[in-house]
Chains A and B, each alone.
Chain A
Amino acid sequence: QKEVEQNSGPLSVPEGAIASLNCTYSDRGSQSFFWYRQYSGKSPELIMSIYSNGDKEDGRFTAQLNKASQYVSLLIRDSQPSDSATYLCAVITPSGGYQKVTFGIGTKLQVIP
């Protein structure tokens, strides 16, 4: 089982719809969770972080964390063509005295005008 799993997609949604991106992780000791956006040919950009159960909203983005079910999701409301990118889930887990960062493979999102 991969440590951080994401569906590689592509996930296609019409403009104005809600895009829902999901990520599951295997280690119950994981403590910090992040979403990155990566445009083609560019570097990943940190867009959301979440550390406790529940929802965290920032503009059109909402991150959701459920530690009991070991999943974290990202909702993008009113999706725009400019949101078309690959979204990477990252998880930080204490490991051997340090904090280990693990990335998922990323979900490619396509917003159709």
Chain B
Amino acid sequence: NAGVMQNPRHLVRRRGQEARLRCSPMKGHSHVYWYRQLPEEGLKFMVYLQKENIIDESGMPKERFSAEFPKEGPSILRIQQVVRGDSAAYFCASSSTGTRGAFFGQGTRLTVV
């Protein structure tokens, strides 16, 4: 049973480009969470999704960031017109019920140059 898969593991984008981060949850998991982490800092919640629904996006910046979890395929976190401040590790986690512990993917390290 494969774990949570994130790709790419590393992503370099120039300022102004778009970044697309993908997350395939564990088999049977329908709850997906996205977090951002800066070096030596804690996890910052961004968004919580279930299949085809955004449940809580209170941690998402109002502009340039969007997330989806379609009926088929992985969850996508999209960052438009990236800026240097978007450079961070982005982690995805999935859960089967929302009341049990979530399992994390390896993360995507985004670098904006």
Instruction: Bin chain A's interface residue count.
Output: 20 to 34
Chain A 29-53 interface 0/1 with B at a Cβ cutoff of 8 Å (1 = within):
0011010100000111110010000
Partner of B102, one of A46, A102, A105: A46
A104 to B44, CA, bound (A): 10
User: For window 31-73 of chain B, which residues contact chain A by CB distance below 8 Å?
Assistant: 33, 35, 41-43, 45, 48, 55-56
Contact call B91/A99, Cβ cutoff below 8 A: no
- Most chain A CB atoms below 10 A, which of B42, B55, B103: B42
B107 surroundings in chain A (CB, below 8 A) = 43
- Most chain A CB atoms below 10 A, which of B45, B91, B98, B106: B98
Partner of B48, one of A42, A88, A98: A98
Contact call A100/B56, Cβ cutoff below 8 A: yes
The interface of chain A, by Cβ under 8 A from chain B, is: 31-32, 34, 36, 42-46, 49, 88, 90, 92, 98-106
Asked whether A105 and B45 contact (CB < 8 A) given A46-B103, A49-B101, A98-B98, the answer is no
B91 surroundings in chain A (CB, below 8 A) = 43-44
B56 surroundings in chain A (CB, below 8 A) = 98, 100
Jot down 27 A-B pairs with beta carbons below 8 A, ordered by A: A31-B99, A32-B100, A32-B101, A43-B104, A43-B105, A43-B106, A43-B107, A44-B43, A44-B91, A44-B104, A46-B102, A49-B100, A49-B101, A88-B43, A92-B98, A98-B55, A98-B56, A98-B98, A101-B45, A101-B48, A101-B102, A103-B43, A103-B45, A104-B42, A105-B41, A105-B42, A106-B43
